[in-house]
Amino acid sequence: MTTPDGATAPFTVLGIETSCDETAAAIVRRDPDGRGAIVAERIRAQVEAHAPYAGVVPEIAARAHVDILDFVVRETLDVAGFDLSDVDAIAATAGPGLIGGVMVGLTTAKALALVAEKPLYAINHLEGHVLTPRLTDAVDFPYLVLLVSGGHTQILLAEGVGCYRRLGTTIDDALGEAFDKVAKLLGLGFPGGPAVEHAAQTGTPERFNLPRPLSDRATADFSLSGLKTAIRQVAEGLEPVSDDDVADLCAAFQTTVADIVAERVDNALAMIEPPTALVAAGGVAANGAIRAALGDVAGDHALPLVLPPPRLCTDNAAMIAWAAAERHAIGLPSADLSVSPRPRWPLDDAAEPKLGAGKAGAKV
């Protein structure tokens, strides 16, 4: 925004995130020089509600968002010492995600924007992840992003705000989904990623030789369903499976995944001019083995490795507010109140769909 004397003032956004099983709100400020700051944030997780099902149940998630989102927003404003009138805009995830949850957050944001007479920004959840390193580390474009979460596995070149080129994606399971399925298969509980990583700490990865799909191709795409199937077949052959077996399987799975990630990122770097940095984003980017593998790749290419704090790798509202502030800074328009939630919303609409498309649009 611009002050009466013509100087550019900080732009402050209230962001809302409800695309999966985190109910989150945050207030983020973007200064005229491009630096950002998180003024306040609150996240309510739903792990206990979904744990009995070893995965997120969309209906339960949506109801939980309805029950607590108003309180989370109010608490965030109180922590910041703000009234709604003190923010310059309202932002919410408009997709992709579990449609019930996305609807709750976007509808709430619309109501707040209407009552407070503030512009509304309908944000692509993936863009929030991709732009997070500009909030935490002021990374310059273009940078290479490995985006890995429960629903998405992609390698993207971030060329500018709103300008992303997909170099690779998964042709079947997302990486986080694979972690969750392996954890469920081995009886480790939910969420699967941390459970597998914890079990792998005492395991011997060399005990099992697992497949590395697509390793014979110079591609940045992923295929993870075969790896998950291999874990199941090995476990069935070992029955009854001991604690040591579980630890060794988890260690082998995690090591194999880290190797695959490193190879795919290396292939992606061969497709482009040297970027300014290698970035990891999304919940699975908090995994220590994957972070270490990316560190090796970055070192081989003499690139800085940017890893946002784990709390900003998982779903959060600060990234949604920041994405809105970034879009405002380059003059991209806010959304109309008629904007619709989207269960699918590829960040690179020009990329060829890998898993097809229907009425809801391309999945990836």
pLDDT at residue 4 greater than cutoff 50: no
* In the chain, where the domains are located: 11-131+314-362, 141-307
Over residues 93-125, the pLDDT tens digits come to 999 999 999 999 999 999 999 999 999 999 999
Mean pLDDT for all residues in the chain: 91
Same fold, 11-131+314-362 and 141-307: yes
pLDDT at residue 355 greater than cutoff 80: no
Alpha helices in 90-189 (DSSP H): 99-116, 125-136, 175-185
Structure tokens at 253: 């799975």
CATH code of 141-307, in short, is 3.30.420.40
Quote the pLDDT of residue 364.
47
Quote the pLDDT of residue 184.
92
∠ CA 269-272-275, rounded to 5°: 75
Confidence of residue 11 (pLDDT cuts 50, 70, 90): very high
Q: How far apart are CA 129 and CA 37, in angstroms?
A: 16
Over residues 52-68, the pLDDT tens digits come to 877 788 889 899 999 99
Quote the pLDDT of residue 351.
63
pLDDT > 90 in the chain, percent:
79
Q: Which CATH number fits domain 11-131+314-362: 3.30.420.40, 3.50.30.30, 3.50.50.60, 3.40.50.720?
A: 3.30.420.40
Quote the pLDDT of residue 181.
92
Confidence of residue 5 (pLDDT cuts 50, 70, 90): very low
pLDDT at residue 1 greater than cutoff 60: no
How many other CB atoms are there within 10 angstroms of residue 310's CB atom? 13
Over residues 181-222, the pLDDT tens digits come to 999 999 998 888 999 999 999 999 999 999 999 988 999 999
Helix axes of 288-300 and 243-269: crossing angle, nearest 10 degrees: 30
- 68: closest CA among 52, 47, 38, 44? 44
pTM of the predicted structure, to 2 decimals: 0.90
How many other CB atoms are there within 10 angstroms of residue 158's CB atom? 27
Residue with tokens 């449609």: 99
Is the preceding omega at residue 240 within 30 degrees of 0, hence cis? yes
Can you say whether residue 97 is alpha, beta or left, with left for phi > 0 and alpha for psi between -120 and 50 degrees?
left
Residue with tokens 């997070």: 132
DSSP E strands: which ranges in the chain?
11-17, 22-30, 36-45, 89-95, 120-124, 143-148, 153-160, 163-169, 278-281, 305-306, 357-358, 361-362
DSSP 205-230: GGG-----TTTTS--S-B--HHHHHH
Quote the pLDDT of residue 140.
97
Q: How far apart are CA 293 and CA 248, in angstroms?
A: 19
